[in-house]
Amino acid sequence: MKKVEAIVKPSKLKAIQKGLIDADIPCMTVVPVRGAGLQQGYSEIYRGTEKSMILFPNLFLIPGFILSNPKYHFLTLSFIISCPK
């Protein structure tokens, strides 16, 4: 049994959702998360004070029907990886 999880940018959610629905994977769980990778953060000036923005908003995506049906593993992974940039 394998579990597929992906952390994606919020702007890519609609494209991924449409593609998974077209591939007969209609169920998914989406959780808003914040994290930092190699970006190193940036600084903003808000009301005269400098704020350090280290964590960026992302979405944690768990497609449904993946645990119960292994034939969808490759299909789901290939679509999420090749989603339009």
Length of the chain: 85
CB 8 within 8 A of CB 35: no
Per-residue pLDDT of the chain (85 residues; tens, 9 = 90+): 677 888 888 888 888 888 888 877 778 889 999 887 776 767 778 888 877 777 788 888 888 766 656 777 777 777 778 776 5
Query: Which domains does the chain carry?
Result: 6-81 (3.30.70.120)
Q: Which amino acid is at 68?
A: S
Nearest-angstrom CA–CA distance, 6 and 85: 15
Instruction: Report the chain's terminal Cα–Cα distance, integer Å.
Output: 30
Q: What is the pTM of this model?
A: 0.68
